Amino acid sequence: MLSMTGFGGGEGTNGPITVSVELRSVNHRFLDVSFKLPGLLGSLEPEIRQFLKEHVARGRVTVSAQMSLARDDEGPQLDRSRLEQGLALLQEAATEMEKVTGTKPELTLDHLLSVPEILRGGETEIQVADVRPALLDALRQAHVGLMKMKKAEGGSLADDLNGRLETIREHLAMVNAQVPRASVELQKKLQERLAKLLDEPLEPQRLAQEVALLADKGNINEECERLQIHLDQFALAMQEDGQIAKRLNFLLQEMHREVNTMGSKTQIMEITQAVIVMKDEVESLREQIMNLE
C-alpha cells in the first residue's frame, strides 16, 4: 500500500558535472508533474515526465533540479599550440613591418598575450548530452527515496485503516447482539399494525402486502450480513499490490449504504448509537483513502 505523499532526493555525476534532483509528491486525483529546472535541463523535461509516468501512478509531483560544475584547481593553462601559432604570426608581421619602415619592431609578452585563446580554462562549455547521464542517475535515486517514503507513509495509513475497520466490526457485533431484541420489537409493531388493519375492511391481498412491507422495513439481518462481507473484502483488498484506492472507495460507498439503512429501520437506542459510530468511521475511512495511490 502506497501513500501519495512522499519525498526523495538524489545526486548524479558525469565528469565535472554534478546534478541533484528532488521529488515531492502530494495528493492529486491524477498524475500531475511540475518542474523547477535550470535552463540547460529544461530540454530533458519530456524524458523526466515519461520516467515518472512509468513509475508513479498518481499524485502531484514536483521535480526540482540543480546543476554544478567542479572548479578546475589548476586554473587557466597555457595553450602551447596557440602560443606557437601566435608567435609565428607575430614574427611574420614584424618582418613585414621591417620591410616597410626599415626597423624591425621588438616582440614583447604583451603581444603574445593578445593572441586569442592562448590561455585555456575557466568555464567549460556544457552540452545537454553531458548533463543527461548525471540527471537520470539522480532522478532514479530520487525515485527510490520517494517510493521508500510513500511505502512507509502507506504502512502508517494501513494501520489507521485497520484500526477503524476493527471499530466498525466491534459495533457491528453490538448491532448483531441487538437483532433478537429488534425482532421482538418488530413483532410487537406487526401485532399493533395488524390489529388496526383488521378493524378496517381490507382485502386479504392488501393485508398480506402491508404485513410484508412492515416486516421488511424492520428487518436488518441482510444489512448486517452485507456489511460484514464488505468489511472482509476491504481487508483483503488492502493486502493487494497496485492501485487499490478506487476499489476501496467503492466498498466504502456500499458500507455507507448498509449502515444508513440499518439506522433507518430501527429505533432501538443501542443500535442507533452503534450506527452513528460506524457512519463516522466509514467517513473517516473515505477521507483516508484519498491519500492512497
Contact 270, 260 (CB under 8 A): no
Predicted local confidence at residue 117, as pLDDT: 59
pLDDT tens digits, one per residue of 216-255: 666 788 899 999 999 999 999 988 877 788 899 999 999 9
C-alpha cell at 91: 614574427
Delineate the domains of the chain, giving CATH numbers in brackets. Answer: 6-72+128-151 (3.30.230), 77-120 (no CATH), 152-289 (no CATH)
Beta strand spans in the chain (E): 6-14, 17-26, 31-36, 59-69, 77-78, 119-120
Distance of CA 67 to the CA centre of its chain: 25
Contact 204, 218 (CB under 8 A): no
274 confidence band (pLDDT: 50, 70, 90): very high
In the block, residue with C-alpha cell 444489512: 223
Q: What pTM does this model have?
A: 0.66
Predicted local confidence at residue 170, as pLDDT: 96
pLDDT tens digits, one per residue of 155-178: 999 999 999 999 999 999 999 988
Predicted local confidence at residue 194, as pLDDT: 65
More confident: 101 or 193: 101
Instruction: Give the rounded percent of residues in the chain with a pLDDT score beyond 70.
Output: 77
What CA–CA distance (Å, rounded) separates 156 from 3? 9
Contact 7, 23 (CB under 8 A): yes
Q: Which residues contact 138 (CB under 8 A, 6 or more apart)?
A: 10, 11, 12, 19, 20, 21, 65
Q: Which residues contact 139 (CB under 8 A, 6 or more apart)?
A: 10, 12, 21, 23, 48, 51, 63
103 confidence band (pLDDT: 50, 70, 90): confident
111 confidence band (pLDDT: 50, 70, 90): low
Contact 211, 190 (CB under 8 A): yes
What CA–CA distance (Å, rounded) separates 97 from 1? 84
Mean pLDDT of 16-29: 93
Q: Which helix H or strand E contains 90, and what residues bound it? A: helix 80-101
In the block, residue with C-alpha cell 568555464: 123
Neighbours of 108 (CB within 10 A): 10
157: nearest Cα among 231, 30, 248, 226: 248
pLDDT tens digits, one per residue of 129-149: 889 999 999 999 999 999 999
DSSP 104: P
Question: Helix, strand or coil for residue 31?
Answer: strand
pLDDT tens digits, one per residue of 27-50: 988 899 999 998 888 899 999 999
How would you label 173-195 residue by residue, b for 16+ Cβ within 10 Å and e otherwise? ebbbebbeebeeebeeeeeeeee
215 confidence band (pLDDT: 50, 70, 90): low
187 confidence band (pLDDT: 50, 70, 90): low
Q: Which residues contact 115 (CB under 8 A, 6 or more apart)?
A: 82, 83, 85, 86, 89, 90
What angle is formed at CA 80 by the lines to CA 77 and CA 86, rounded to 5 degrees?
115
Q: Which residues contact 15 (CB under 8 A, 6 or more apart)?
A: 130
